[in-house]
Amino acid sequence: MSQYLFKNFQLLEPSLDEIRGGYELLVEGDTIREVSDKPIKSDRATVIDCGGRTLMPGLIDSHVHVFLSEVYIRNLESVPLTLMTARAVGLVKGMIDRGFTTVRDTGGADWGIKESIEKGHIVGPRLFIAGQAIGPTGGHSDSRRRTDYGMRCHCCNAMSFTMCVSDGVTEVRRAAREQMRQGADHVKIMMSGGVASPYDPLTSLQFSMEEARAAVEEATAFGRYVCAHAYTPEAITRAAHAGVRTIEHGNLIDEAAAKLMAEKGMILVANLIAYYAMKERAGEFGMTGDMLEKNDMVIDGALRSLEICKKANVPVAYGTDLLGQLQVEQSREFQLRAEVLTPIEIIRSATSVGAKVVRMEDKLGTLRAGAFADMLLVNGNPLKDLSLLQHQGRNLALIMKAGQFHKNELVH
């Protein structure tokens, strides 16, 4: 079993408030075996001199869509499953190149792409999947045009493959069970309207309390949990009372809804960059005016949602929710959050809070002994300059996932 002994680095452990020097770290196999402020002895470890750089955990993006390779998702109607998968190969490689060693897909990615990464057929981050996102007729998961009647099969195009329409408690139970049969780590449901769906008002309430509870019951019985797409206080409140664990987006949250989330131990997965990037560039990729108007409705609340949740002690994870060609903006989320949060708070959102989202607090998002050896070596101090985590990974001298080097500029 391979061993690597890291020396001469500044330790950025998210559970601490500052960077500390004088530590050594030993990796054995896929795990961090030891972290110590005293010299670590190992006769067979390969010694890595980090040159005073910052060693930190790999990043976690808690809201991605590796199969949604078009900004205007209607274009996916003409994308076959083979092309969808081929595009995903490039998208997931880009994520780990930027230092994201773990990502959580919230609608679309299936066990096939997850297995391909785990078996080494393609290069990418550790992937947690929801399978198809589930929503009601006419809601955020209903991809049909108004001229479409009846439901399409999901075997021909990427648009239908990534989403599922279910109505009523029985259908929702069946859909949730099907996603878990297909290997889902969590179940995604729609509780409000969305930006990228053309026909549902943003403020619409979608799944009923009974439907949402059915999904939660099935996920819980299977040892999984439910995450919910929700923008408004009404949708967030309904999801909270139904037992949903994480809220995706939450831009229009108010103090009362945040207080309820805190009481129930919920987590918000915010994603500011999606809205800024869509406002700036989505029109050139075909996104319609109606969609962009809805985008304007939520963009102003994005930063405010972070402030409200911070005050209410609701953990907020790092998410991006970028579509297609805009996914290169993944690391710009750090810059946007810096307007209202401190650097260590933002880094925690992309490490320890993300680990809590995927329920692997002891294995991800930390450099403690026993965790997976998912690590980044940064050319500088991210607590003083968050831009070091941008620029497509240019300032990352080393990227390690599960004890394997994805990138290592220290060895020539």
pLDDT digits (tens, 9 = 90+) for 162-195: 889 999 999 999 999 999 999 999 999 999 988 8
- Of 59, 58, 55, residue with least CA distance to 22: 55
Structural domain ending residue among the three candidates 317, 339, 357 = 357
Residue 100 has a pLDDT of: 98
Q: Which residues on adjacent β-strands are paired with residue 190?
A: 229
Is the confidence at residue 196, as pLDDT, over 90? Answer: no
Residue 157 has a pLDDT of: 77
Structural domain ending residue among the three candidates 331, 357, 383 = 357
**Helix (H/G/I), strand (E/B), else coil: 132:** coil
Residue 201 has a pLDDT of: 84
Q: What band does 153 get if pLDDT is binned at 50, 70 and 90? A: low
DSSP 8-state secondary structure symbol assigned to residue 209: H
Is the confidence at residue 363, as pLDDT, over 90? Answer: yes
- Whether the CB-CB separation of 268 and 313 falls below 8 Å is answered with no
Task: Taking residues 199-204, report their average pLDDT.
Answer: 85
- Same domain assignment for residues 13 and 109: no
Structural domain ending residue among the three candidates 335, 357, 379 = 357
Quote the crossing angle between the two packed helices 168-181 and 209-221, to the nearest 10°. Answer: 30
User: 12 to each of 55, 56, 97, how far by Cα in Å?
Assistant: 6, 5, 20
pLDDT tens digits, one per residue of 34-62: 999 999 999 999 999 999 999 999 999 99
Q: pTM for the whole thing?
A: 0.95
Q: Which residue has the tokens 């402020």?
A: 37
- Same domain assignment for residues 264 and 391: no
**Number of Cβ within a 10 Å radius of residue 318:** 28
- Same domain assignment for residues 81 and 131: yes
pLDDT tens digits, one per residue of 265-292: 999 999 999 999 999 998 888 888 888 8
- Same domain assignment for residues 96 and 72: yes
- Whether the CB-CB separation of 318 and 62 falls below 8 Å is answered with yes
- Whether the CB-CB separation of 192 and 202 falls below 8 Å is answered with yes
Q: Which residues contact 174 (CB under 8 A, 6 or more apart)?
A: 166
- Same domain assignment for residues 98 and 184: yes
- Whether the CB-CB separation of 354 and 100 falls below 8 Å is answered with no
- Same domain assignment for residues 382 and 245: no
- Same domain assignment for residues 398 and 271: no
Give the integer Cα–Cα distance in Å for 281 and 169: 39
Give the integer Cα–Cα distance in Å for 310 and 313: 5
Give the integer Cα–Cα distance in Å for 170 and 177: 11
Number of domains within the chain:
2
Q: What band does 145 get if pLDDT is binned at 50, 70 and 90? A: low
Task: Taking residues 330-340, report their average pLDDT.
Answer: 96
**Helix (H/G/I), strand (E/B), else coil: 282:** helix
Q: Domain with 150 in it: what CATH number?
A: 3.20.20.140
The type of residue at 84 is M
Give the integer Cα–Cα distance in Å for 38 and 332: 37
Residue 165 belongs to what H/E stretch? strand 163-165
pLDDT tens digits, one per residue of 56-108: 999 999 999 999 999 888 888 889 999 999 999 999 999 999 999 999 999 99
Average pLDDT, the chain: 94
- Same domain assignment for residues 40 and 166: no
Q: Which residues contact 18 (CB under 8 A, 6 or more apart)?
A: 344, 383
User: 333 to each of 158, 178, 260, 388, 410, how far by Cα in Å?
Assistant: 27, 33, 26, 13, 28
- Whether the CB-CB separation of 209 and 237 falls below 8 Å is answered with no
Task: Taking residues 363-378, report their average pLDDT.
Answer: 98
Is the confidence at residue 152, as pLDDT, over 80? Answer: no
- Same domain assignment for residues 170 and 225: yes
Q: Domain with 35 in it: what CATH number?
A: 2.30.40.10
Give the integer Cα–Cα distance in Å for 237 and 354: 22
- Calculate ∠ Cα 335-340-346, nearest 5°: 55
pLDDT tens digits, one per residue of 234-246: 999 999 999 999 9
- Same domain assignment for residues 26 and 151: no
- Same domain assignment for residues 49 and 99: no
- Same domain assignment for residues 350 and 385: no
Q: Is the model more confident about 324 or about 145? A: 324
Domain range spanning residue 178?
A: 59-357
Q: What band does 359 get if pLDDT is binned at 50, 70 and 90? A: very high
Task: Taking residues 9-24, report their average pLDDT.
Answer: 97
